[in-house]
């Protein structure tokens, strides 16, 4: 028996639901793809005429939206109709770390997943394949299955309503989401019923080669997603720990990365030292793994993974302390230009961005921050920093130092450079690689510093600019060039 999918509903129109469903719609014109969300504002933004107003920025996304929206890709708040008529429902809602109750600070909060399962149970009208797209703790499928099974039993037409639950974790990275979805390293499908698994595999087979589609059991699929993120984050903490040793010893982390990356067993990717990993998932997924390990009494395993997060926190604060130290031990009343607030380039996402902790530390020390980012707006920064922007800073010609511990949004990098004591690069946006450092230097108060936390400035770029230059993991870059 083969189940042919004609209509898909995705619950959750976020950083995963939006791009994932857009790529499915683009590659499967015969399937009607309906993305639903309880957040009206977000759905309005997805339906916006002006494609610059889409709720998330992702290279290549707006072109797909232009091609498919209104044809076989729809965004709406109507959960009832779209769930009821779907053959397959993806659950793609947020799963943040719990803030209270049992497991607070580590376990995932599954209330949105449970609510989604209950909505499916309530509105489904026929056999429905339910797909976990959200990242979930091991054995969550069991919970979803229990909720759906009780709905099956309660229903008047229980001969027609039935469910299969599959796990299909998403491995896309923000900023490269469309490419990752178009050409995935693998698509993982975990489940029990081979017919349901094949139905989902057939959707992907429209554009993904068969040898990249891995079928497995549901628990291994759930655990594989947490493990992949834990391994990736662990690499970043590892290389950032080496960066600190490099700075102490005069070695260069870029050279160390190059040397170890040529070993096929290690590989060259994910070895860039930076200001610490951010993003909505690495920390939350590792903490989830920590919680799971402790739950099963595996305390050494829990400690091992928790150290990856601890090192990351330490590393972020290490950078802010270092900036203060280089600026003669105080940044009170000093103007510092922050370049980049997103957690990485090519996204407008700031969740868990290292910029948040580093900026907060500097504000606590009394610095005046001019923050620039090409895609993040001032409102978002205010939410993340927990303090309002002081726009009058932009027009002040002098006495800026009276505003210690305040910040404003710099509309251009030049606005940030003027009379500043330091420039701190926190996100590797392409436009920051083209800065003319001699011109920037002329605008700054001397002695002036550039802190390159992303290793995007070369020695040639900055040579002769009369700027003090510090680069992450570079033991030789502490003096005037």
- Provide the 10 A C-beta neighbour count for residue 210: 8
Give min distance, CB of 270 to ligand UGA, in A: 4
Instruction: Out of 170, 174, 306, 352, pick the active-site residue.
Output: 170
Q: Does 36 bind ligand UGA (CB under 6 A)?
A: no
Peptide bond into 428 cis (omega under 30): no
Instruction: Out of 98, 106, 133, 225, pick the active-site residue.
Output: 225
- What one-character-per-residue DSSP string does 259-328 give? HHHTSTTT-STT----S---SSSHHHHHHHHHHHHHHTT-HHHHHHHHHHHHHHHHHHHHHHHHHHHHTT
Query: What tokens were used for 272?
Result: 């860039």
The option from ligand NAD, ligand UGA, none interacting with 116 (CB < 5 to 8 A, set by class) reads: ligand NAD
Q: Does 143 bind ligand NAD (CB under 6 A)?
A: no
Instruction: Check if the beta carbon of residue 75 is closer than 8 Å to that of residue 47.
Output: yes
Answer for which of 5, 9, 10, 12 binds ligand NAD (CB under 6 A) is 12
Q: Does 278 bind ligand UGA (CB under 6 A)?
A: yes
- Diameter of the chain by CA atoms? 80
The option from ligand UGA, ligand NAD, none interacting with 272 (CB < 5 to 8 A, set by class) reads: ligand UGA
d(CA 158, CA 151): 9
Query: What tokens were used for 136?
Result: 């979930």
Answer for which of 9, 31, 113, 271 binds ligand UGA (CB under 6 A) is 271
Q: Does 236 bind ligand UGA (CB under 6 A)?
A: yes
Instruction: Check if the beta carbon of residue 427 is closer than 8 Å to that of residue 339.
Output: yes
Q: Does 251 bind ligand UGA (CB under 6 A)?
A: no
Instruction: Out of 281, 337, 408, 453, pick the active-site residue.
Output: 281
Q: Sketch the per residue contact string, 269 through 308, with ligand NAD: x for CB under 6 A, - otherwise.
A: -----------xx---------------------------
Stretch that binds ligand UGA, among 82-90, 196-204, 271-279, 387-395 (CB under 6 A): 271-279
Instruction: Check if the beta carbon of residue 67 is closer than 8 Å to that of residue 107.
Output: no
CA quadruple 235, 268, 15, 234: dihedral, nearest 10: 0
Residue 13 or 423: which CB sits closer to ligand NAD? 13
255 sits in which H/E element: helix 253-261
Q: How many residues in the shown chain lie near ligand UGA by CB under 6 A? A: 20
Q: Calculate helix-pair angle for 299-326, 354-364, nearest 10 degrees.
A: 50
Q: Does 164 bind ligand NAD (CB under 6 A)?
A: no
Residue 119 or 348: which CB sits closer to ligand UGA? 348
Q: Does 272 bind ligand UGA (CB under 6 A)?
A: yes
Answer for which of 9, 13, 200, 423 binds ligand NAD (CB under 6 A) is 13
Query: What tokens were used for 245?
Result: 């040793």
Q: Does 274 bind ligand UGA (CB under 6 A)?
A: yes
Q: Does 187 bind ligand UGA (CB under 6 A)?
A: no
Q: Does 103 bind ligand NAD (CB under 6 A)?
A: no
Give min distance, CB of 261 to ligand UGA, in A: 10
Query: What tokens were used for 18?
Result: 């939006």
In whole angstroms, how far apart are CA 52 and each of 18, 45, 61, 150? 15, 10, 10, 44
The option from ligand UGA, ligand NAD, none interacting with 344 (CB < 5 to 8 A, set by class) reads: ligand UGA
- For the beta sheet containing 162-167, the strands, ordered from the edge strand earlier in sequence to the opposite edge, are 73-76, 32-36, 7-11, 88-91, 127-132, 162-167, 187-190, 213-216
Give min distance, CB of 107 to ligand UGA, in A: 17
Q: Sketch the per residue contact string, 35 through 64, with ligand NAD: x for CB under 6 A, - otherwise.
A: -xxxx--x----------------------
Whats the size of the chain, residue-wise?
A: 481
- For the beta sheet containing 407-409, the strands, ordered from the edge strand earlier in sequence to the opposite edge, are 407-409, 368-372, 335-339, 422-425, 449-452, 468-471
Give min distance, CB of 180 to ligand UGA, in A: 7
Active site (annotated) includes residue 281? yes
Q: Does 466 bind ligand NAD (CB under 6 A)?
A: no
Query: What tokens were used for 86?
Result: 């779907």
Binding site residues, ligand NAD, CB under 6 A: 11-17, 36-39, 42, 92-95, 112, 115-116, 134-135, 170, 172, 174, 280-281
Binding site residues, ligand UGA, CB under 6 A: 135, 170-174, 229, 232, 236, 270-272, 274, 277-279, 281-282, 343-344
Catalytic machinery residues: 170, 225, 281
């Amino acid at each position: 028996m083969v189940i042919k999918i004609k209509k898909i509903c995705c619950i959750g129109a976020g950083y995963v639901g939006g791009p994932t469903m857009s790529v499915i719609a683009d590659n499967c014109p015969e399937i009607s793809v309906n993305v639903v969300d309880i957040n009206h504002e977000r759905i309005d933004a997805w339906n916006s005429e002006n494609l610059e107003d889409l709720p998330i920025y992702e290279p290549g996304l707006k072109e797909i939206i232009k091609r498919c929206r209104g044809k076989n890709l729809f965004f709406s708040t109507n959960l009832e109709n779209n769930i009821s008529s779907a053959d397959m429902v993806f659950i793609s809602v947020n799963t943040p770390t719990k803030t209270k109750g049992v497991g607070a600070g580590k376990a995932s909060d599954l209330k949105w997943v449970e609510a989604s399962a209950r909505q499916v149970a309530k509105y489904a009208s026929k056999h429905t394949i339910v797909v976990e797209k959200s990242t979930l703790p091991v054995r969550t499928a069991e919970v979803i299955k229990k909720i759906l099974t009780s709905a099956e039993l309660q229903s008047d037409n229980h001969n027609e309503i039935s469910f299969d639950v599959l796990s299909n974790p998403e491995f896309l990275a923000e900023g490269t989401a469309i490419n990752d979805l178009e050409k995935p390293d693998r698509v993982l499908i975990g489940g029990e019923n081979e017919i349901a698994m094949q139905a989902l595999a057939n959707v992907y087979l429209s554009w993904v080669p068969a040898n990249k589609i891995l079928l497995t059991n549901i628990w291994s699929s759930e655990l594989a997603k947490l493990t992949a993120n834990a391994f990736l984050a662990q690499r970043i903490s590892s290389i950032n720990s080496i960066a600190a040793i490099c700075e102490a010893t005069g070695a260069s982390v870029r050279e160390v990365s190059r040397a170890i990356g040529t070993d096929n067993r290690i590989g060259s990717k994910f070895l860039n030292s930076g200001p610490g990993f951010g993003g909505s998932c690495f920390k939350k997924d590792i903490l989830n793994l920590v919680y799971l390990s402790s739950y099963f009494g595996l305390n050494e395993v829990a400690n091992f993974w928790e150290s990856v997060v601890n090192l990351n926190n330490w590393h972020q604060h290490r950078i802010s302390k270092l900036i203060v130290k280089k600026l003669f031990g105080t940044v009170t009343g000093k103007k510092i230009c922050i370049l980049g607030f997103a957690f990485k380039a090519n996204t407008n996402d700031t969740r868990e961005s290292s910029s948040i902790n580093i900026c907060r530390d500097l504000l606590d020390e009394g610095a005046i921050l001019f923050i620039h980012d090409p895609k993040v707006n001032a409102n978002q920064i205010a939410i993340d920093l927990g303090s309002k922007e002081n726009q009058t800073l932009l027009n002040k010609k002098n006495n800026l130092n009276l505003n210690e511990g305040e910040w404003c949004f710099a509309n251009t990098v030049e606005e940030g450079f003027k009379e500043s004591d330091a420039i701190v690069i926190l996100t590797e946006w392409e436009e920051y690689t083209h800065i003319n450092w001699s011109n920037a230097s002329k605008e700054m108060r001397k002695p002036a510093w550039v802190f390159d936390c992303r290793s995007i400035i070369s020695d040639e770029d900055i040579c002769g600019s009369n700027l003090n230059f510090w680069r992450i993991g570079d033991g030789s870059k502490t003096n005037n060039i």
